[in-house]
Amino acid sequence: MIRENMDILPTAFSSKKRLGFDDKISGAGLEKKIDCFLTLLVRDLKVNNCKLIGHVKGFADAHDNGHLMFSITGFDEKVRFKGKLLQEIAGIEFTINIIVYGIELLSVERVFEKAYENFFG
């Protein structure tokens, strides 16, 4: 959001979802899926007039089978990952936090849901 005096204000969004996969997925496969998801998300945020990314961070929790943390902090940056999955998994709890500037919350929600449906829906 941009105020009249041209200050660019932050918009914060978060979501937590349970994901199930038709076929079990490896850690590398999940990283690739998350990387593609975030690439689309960040691209579409920019297309919708997002001025700056504070951060897009998340956590893919496979409980006893490990976890992946992921983050991206710029339009032209690569996604960074930490953690690992111990074996192939059938599902995860997916948590994401987004802080961006110059874009309304409703637009962030729409961009997130579209990217989410494309890769996980």
- For residues 61-89, average pLDDT: 95
Q: Is residue 96 part of a domain?
A: yes
Q: Which two tokens stand for residue 112?
A: 């997130």
Q: Is residue 41 part of a domain?
A: yes
Q: What is the pLDDT of residue 121?
A: 72
Q: In sequence order, what are the residues at sequence separation of 6 or more whose Cβ sits closer than 8 angstroms to the Cβ of residue 31?
A: 68, 70, 81
Domain that residue 110 falls in: 10-120
Q: How many structural domains are present in the chain?
A: 1
Q: What is the pTM of this model?
A: 0.89
Q: Which residues pair with 82 in a beta bridge?
A: 69
Is the four-CA dihedral 73, 71, 47, 105 of positive or negative sign? negative
Q: What is the pLDDT of residue 83?
A: 95
- For residues 4-18, average pLDDT: 83
When the pLDDT of each residue in the chain is averaged and rounded to a whole number, the result is: 92
Q: What is the pLDDT of residue 1?
A: 52
Distance CA(44)–CA(114), nearest Å, equals 9
92-110 per-position pLDDT tens digit: 999 999 999 999 999 999 9
Q: Is residue 39 part of a domain?
A: yes
Q: List the beta strands (DSSP E) in 1-121.
A: 10-25, 52-61, 66-72, 80-85, 89-101
Q: Is residue 3 part of a domain?
A: no
Provide the CATH number for the domain around residue 116: 3.30.300
34-46 per-position pLDDT tens digit: 999 999 999 999 9
Q: Is residue 4 part of a domain?
A: no
